[in-house]
Structure 1
Amino acid sequence: MSSYDKVVKLACKPKAAPPKAKYLDTIIAATWSEDGAVHDVCKALSPRFREPNVIVVFKALIVLHTMIRNGSTDNILAYLSSSDVLKLRNVSSGNWEGYSTPQNLQNYATYLDARIRAYRDLKHDAIRVQAESNRDMRNSQSIEQDTIKVKKGPVKPAATLPARSKTIMGRKLRVMTVEKGLLRETKAVHRMIDALLECRFYLDDLEDELVITSLRMLVKDLLILFQAGNEGVINVLEHYFEMSHIDAKEALAIYRHFCNQTERVVEYLGVAKKLQNLLNVPIPNLKHAPVSLAGALQEYLDDPNFEQNRLEYRANGRAADKAAKTNGAETKPPPLPSSSTSSKPEPPRPSMESTTSNGNAQPNGQPTIVADFFSSIEEQQPNMFNPQT
Structure 2
Amino acid sequence: MNVNIPQLADTLFERTANSSWVVVFKALITTHHLMMYGNERFIQYLASRNTLFNLNNYLDKSAMQGYDMSTFIRRYSRYLNEKALSYRLVAVDFTKMKRGIDGVMRTMNAEKLLKTLPIIQNQHDALLDFDANPNELTNGVINAAFMLLFKDSIRLFAAYNEGIINLLEKYFDMKKNQCKEGLDMYKKFLSRMTKLSEFLKVAEQVGIDHGDIPDLTQAPSSLLEALEQHLASLEGKKTKEVSAASRASALSCAVSTLANTGMSLSRMDEKEKQQALEEEQARLQALKEQRLREISVVSNSTSTSASPSTLSGKSVNTTAAVDLFAVSLTTDYFKFCVTFVKNWFSVLLLAFKYLDDVLQPTVPPPSQRATSANQPSGKILANDLDSSLANLVGNLGFGGTPSKKSDMQWTQPAEKKLTGGTNWQAKTSTSTTWNPNPLPTLPHMVPAPVAYQVTTPQVPVYGMVPPQIGAAPLMAPQSVIYTQPGLRPTNPFAPVSGTQIQFM
Interval containing the TM-score (normalised by the shorter chain): 0.5 to 0.7
Runs of 4+ in 1 over 6 A off after TM superposition: none
Q: Which residue of 1 aligns with 2:447?
A: none
What letter is aligned with 1:256? Answer: K
CA contact (8 A) 1:341 1:367 kept: no
- 2:227 aligns with one of 297, 307, 328: 297
SS in 1 for 2:133: helix
- 1:80 aligns with one of 46, 67, 82: 46
CA contact (8 A) 2:219 2:258 kept: yes
CA distance in 2, matches of 1:275, 1:76: 31
Distance 1:304 1:63, change over 3 A: closer
The alpha-carbon deviation at position 382 of structure 1 amounts to 8.9
Q: Which residue of 2 aligns with 1:275?
A: 206
CA-based RMSD: 2.9
Distance 1:234 1:382, change over 3 A: closer
Q: Which residue of 2 aligns with 1:249?
A: 180
CA distance in 2, matches of 1:115, 1:260: 21
1:1-389 equivalences under 5 Å are 33=1, 35=2, 37-72=4-39, 74-84=40-50, 87-98=52-63, 99-101=65-67, 102=69, 103-130=71-98, 133=99, 169=102, 171-179=103-111, 181-203=112-134, 205-277=136-208, 282-290=212-220, 293-304=223-234, 342=241, 366=243, 368-375=245-252, 377-381=254-258
The alpha-carbon deviation at position 69 of structure 1 amounts to 1.1
Q: Which has the higher contact order (CA 8 A, sep 6+)?
A: 1
CA distance in 2, matches of 1:100, 1:112: 20
CA distance in 2, matches of 1:304, 1:282: 43
Give the gaps of 5 or more residues in structure 2: 262-504
The alpha-carbon deviation at position 341 of structure 1 amounts to 7.9
Paired positions, count: 258
CA contact (8 A) 1:276 1:282 kept: no
CA distance in 1, matches of 2:159, 2:219: 12
What letter is aligned with 1:52? Answer: S
CA distance in 1, matches of 2:221, 2:45: 38
What letter is aligned with 1:63? Answer: T
CA contact (8 A) 1:173 1:186 kept: no
| Residues 296-353 of structure 1: CA deviation (Å, up to 9, x unaligned) | 21221111577xxxxxxxxxxxxxxxxxxxxxxxxxxxxxxxx9983xxxxxxxxxxx
Structure of greater Rg = 2
| Residues 55-82 of structure 1: CA deviation (Å, up to 9, x unaligned) | 111111100011111112x312211111
| Residues 15-50 of structure 1: CA deviation (Å, up to 9, x unaligned) | xxxxxxxxxxxxxxxxxx2x4611110011111112
CA contact (8 A) 1:233 1:289 kept: no
With normalisation by structure 1, the TM-score equals 0.60
Between Structure 1 and Structure 2, the one with more helix by share is: 1
The alpha-carbon deviation at position 368 of structure 1 amounts to 4.8
CA distance in 2, matches of 1:296, 1:61: 44
| Residues 106-158 of structure 1: CA deviation (Å, up to 9, x unaligned) | 1111111110000011110100115xx3xxx6xxxxxxxxxxxxxxxxxxxxx
Distance 1:37 1:291, change over 3 A: farther
CA contact (8 A) 1:49 1:91 kept: no
SS in 2 for 1:129: coil
Distance 1:76 1:95, change over 3 A: same
CA contact (8 A) 1:290 1:382 kept: no
Distance 1:122 1:204, change over 3 A: farther
CA contact (8 A) 1:48 1:57 kept: yes
CA distance in 1, matches of 2:153, 2:222: 23
